[in-house]
Amino acid sequence: NQSNQPEDSPPTTSTWVTPKPPSVEINQPLSPVEQQLKWDSYHQLQQLLRERRLMRAIALVEALAQRMPQDPEVRQWQAIAYQTWAKHLVKQHKLDKARNYLRKALKTDPYNKSLCAQIEQDFLVIEQMI
């Protein structure tokens, strides 16, 4: 555990999107094992985001997305993790990397209107910093 890395930094007062818990109904039925994996991953993701261990959160949702590529909730969680990491990068003035992660978030969950609106605001913040 390398606690001096940015992804392990303590929580800040900035706002970020909270992933919604898994719904009962999804497009493709999951096996009981997959449902449990998804639920456990959701709780782990919440903990990682609370602790601001953002790269680990991204690794978790990317692995889950590989296992459940058609699951819209997993894609949403992945996009939220990307956007949260991008906001962290903006605070560090790593604007090019932040833009890349914002684009990844949009590409991952392009139909999430709330997330898209927040990402648009994030892009405006970056433009004002240049």
pLDDT in tens, 60-119: 999 999 999 999 999 999 999 999 999 999 999 999 999 999 999 999 999 999 999 999
Residue 3 resides in a domain = no
Residues 49 and 16 sit within 8 Å (Cβ to Cβ): yes
What global pTM score does this model have? Answer: 0.77
Residue 59 resides in a domain = yes
**10-49, pLDDT tens digit by residue?**
334 344 556 666 554 445 688 899 899 999 999 999 999 9
Residue 67 resides in a domain = yes
Residue 85 resides in a domain = yes
Q: What is the pLDDT of residue 29?
A: 83
- Look at the chain and report how many structural domains it folds into: 1
CATH number, residue 85: 1.25.40
Q: What is the pLDDT of residue 8?
A: 44
Residue 104 resides in a domain = yes
Residue 118 resides in a domain = yes
Q: What is the pLDDT of residue 85?
A: 97
Q: What is the pLDDT of residue 30?
A: 85
Which residues form the domain of 57?
31-129
Residue 18 resides in a domain = no
Residue 74 resides in a domain = yes
